[in-house]
Amino acid sequence: MTSSNPADTSVTAGSTAAGSTAAAPTGPRVVDVHAHAMPMPLLRSLADRGLADVSAVDQGIVRLDPKVSGVGPGAPLPLARSQHDVATRLVEMDAAGVDVHAVSLPPFLFATNADDAGFATGIVAQGNDELAGYVAGAPDRLVGLGYVPLGWPGVADEAVRVLDELGLAGIAIGSQGGGKDLDDPVNEDLWALLAERNTFVFLHPSGMPAGPRLKDYWMPQLVGYPMETAIAVARLVFSGTLERYPITLCLAHGGGCVPSLRGRMDMGWERKDVAHTNDHPPTHYTDRLYYDTAVFNTTVLSRIVQDVGVEHVLMGTDHPFELGDPTPRKTVGDLGLSEADTAAILGGTASRLLGLA
């Protein structure tokens, strides 16, 4: 989708955009836990620092410095208008039959590959400030998931600021950060905090393995992201992190490759001493996680529901990217579940986890 105006648009608290219809109170609340925003004040500020090119915003494109985006220099990144225009987002939400978006920044704004602590933490903090401003444009329809500077000392401090000062509903994390994996000791205080507070945490891949082998055919996102999620989760499992800290963790893209590795990881735990790191097999921990519905295949999604249970599957679309799900209610409806189970996936469970009234 393209933007016709680079200006920000917000709506008065409790209102809806012109031409949109208020979320219809017919049936259970529908909550999308996987939605993204790139607030224009953040992009303009980055441009002022020479870290972004916003000259093609009216064509729906932004270019970010690799230190911020983690992708190649000059790469055109899609910037749908709803990424920075609340009114447009509300129209799109109404069209999809979605009541609430849990909005997080996309991985292009995580500064995952930055090698300077001050730079990374500064970008993250500014991103959270602007995300809070964005969701405040429609507080009855939008909640924010603030990012944290993984891999850097003081990562838990930003989580406290996000939750207590900015008042966001939860935390978003990447799959790595600061040159370190999620199970690195530097992140230990973060996991302790999030487990203690029972905070909703959304894991979105922020890198990819295999480097040059994935450079063609859009494979970084089609293949790299699912692989990256599996690596990140496997490290959390085998390191004992999820045993020590039972965090409320939801995985983007249906967990990527995690569901298909269930048997293999359990087999390794049973047969390899080096992988027998916990009191329970890996599925004991992965079954406690939550998985969004953005897998684009009814059979695959049905298997996830079968494996982990209806209560651990949350509706997620990856809005507004082109690889997202434009008809999420149909996606869930096609599973053929009971009315109660369908309602749980559509938003009942997410409402509870996010503390929505």
Sequence-distant (≥ 6) Cβ neighbours of residue 81 within 8 angstroms: 1, 2, 3, 4, 60, 88
Q: Whole-prediction pTM value?
A: 0.92
Q: Over the stretch 188-198, which tens digit does the pLDDT of each residue have?
A: 999 999 999 99
Q: How far is CA 330 from CA 36, 216, 295, in A?
A: 21, 32, 13
Over 60: is that where the pLDDT of 7 sits?
Answer: no
pLDDT in tens, 232-254: 999 999 999 999 999 999 999 99
Query: What would the pLDDT profile of 35-48 be if each residue is shown by its tens digit?
Result: 999 999 999 999 99
Tokens of 173: 């994390």
Is the omega angle on the peptide bond into residue 320 within 30 degrees of 0, that is, cis? yes
Cα maximum dimension of the chain: 61
Q: Measured between alpha carbons, how far is residue 194 from residues 54, 96, 242, 247 in Å?
A: 35, 32, 12, 6
pLDDT at 210: 78
Residue 166, CA distances (Å) to 38, 129, 171, 270 in order: 17, 7, 12, 45
Measured in residues, the chain has a length of 357
Q: How far apart are CA 233 and CA 201, in angstroms?
A: 13
Instruction: Return the closest-CA partner of residue 133 out of 103, 175, 172, 177.
Output: 103
Q: Helix or strand or coil: residue 319? A: strand
pLDDT score of 128: 98
Tens digits of per-residue pLDDT, 82-95? 999 999 999 999 99
Confidence label for 1 from pLDDT (cuts 50, 70 and 90): very low
C-alpha 242/C-alpha 248 separation (Å) is 10
* Mean pLDDT in residue range 215-232: 95
3-state secondary structure of 267: helix
CA distance 251 to 293: 10
Whether the pLDDT of residue 6 is over 60: the answer is no
CA 234 and chain centroid, separation = 18
Q: For the residues 114-138, what does the mean pLDDT come to?
A: 97
**Is the pLDDT assigned to residue 218 strictly greater than 60?**
yes
* DSSP designation for 50: T
